[in-house]
Amino acid sequence: MTDLSRLSLNTATTKNLTLAEAVRVAAEAGLPAVGLWRDRVAEAGLENAARIVRDAGLRVSSLCRGGFLTAADPAEQDRAMESNRAAIVEAATLGTSELVMVVGGLGAASAPGGPALPGGDKDIVAARTRVANRIAELAPFAAEHGVRLVLEPLHPIFAADRAVLSTLGQCLDLATDFPPEQVGVVVDTYHVWWDPALRDQIVRAGREGRIASYQVCDWILPLAEDALLSRGFMGDGYIDFPTITRWVSEAGYSGDVEVEIFNQEIWDAPGAETVATMAKRYTELVQPYL
């Protein structure tokens, strides 16, 4: 029997659809939720986006994404903080308490593809400290809006350019100064499947009440030319979904399961087909273990 009552379509999976189109294919497939990206929300307009989701009878499982907090330059920091405050207001307006945070990499260290910039900042320890300080500044504002900052550990392949938070344990260490309703974590199989400490840290995250989102997609090889797009449907790669799903479930997570896949081929396919495939794979490899 098909039970899609916890399956959420993250709009990054259907990148070529507008927010309204993504909501429609999700609703038509019987999904109860969508995870939204800010770019699609901005295109639709914030109030309009909230109404589209509400009118379709769906809930918003999370908003992606805040973050990019590693800049050392004060003006850049100010811009980042302003953007994050806006994201917090957007999450509240959309009716989700979960704002996913991709904290940023060593952006200033090197021109992508080029040689290191002289004086570029390669101090990853300092970058992490800046992230912790900015989270501390944002948390009270988020709390006022009923929004939780959801730290996302990204696969270490992205440590240089996207996120200096690489493991669930590291995110939980950072979260420890805050109540669980202010700072949580996301377990995204793609980013954390390889981690030898994964089970222990999922248990810990559950015990601390911090699992704010469970996202699923597979690690496929060979890597796509743009490594960011090397994600696949559950079952097409190397990840052991039954095992990780069982761990997340045993840790007490009872929320939505978002499918977030960056993959050019999947983006080029019709949205309804994509949602049908993800529902099928979810039903085979994830839902039975929840």
Which residues are at the interface with a copy of itself (CB under 8 A)? Answer: 106, 109-110, 112-113, 115-116, 122-125, 128, 155-157, 159-161, 165-167, 169-170, 173, 193-196, 199, 219-223, 225-227, 235-240, 243
**Do the Cβ atoms of 282 and 259 come closer than 8 Å?**
yes
C-beta closer to a copy of itself: residue 156 or 179: 156
Smallest gap from Cβ 1 to a copy of itself, in A, equals: 23
* The two structure tokens encoding residue 242: 């039954």
Smallest gap from Cβ 211 to a copy of itself, in A, equals: 20
Whole-angstrom distance, CA of residue 75 vs CA of residue 209:
35
Smallest gap from Cβ 234 to a copy of itself, in A, equals: 10
Whole-angstrom distance, CA of residue 275 vs CA of residue 33:
12
C-beta closer to a copy of itself: residue 75 or 225: 225
Smallest gap from Cβ 98 to a copy of itself, in A, equals: 23
Strand duo 7-10 + 257-259: pairing: parallel
163 forms bridges with which residues in the sheet?
A: 104
Closest CA to 103 of 131, 78, 71, 138: 131
Smallest gap from Cβ 259 to a copy of itself, in A, equals: 17
Round to the nearest angstrom and report the end-to-end CA distance of the chain.
14
Q: What letter would DSSP give residue 100?
A: E
C-beta closer to a copy of itself: residue 38 or 130: 130
C-beta closer to a copy of itself: residue 169 or 271: 169
C-beta closer to a copy of itself: residue 211 or 244: 244
Q: What letter would DSSP give residue 3?
A: -
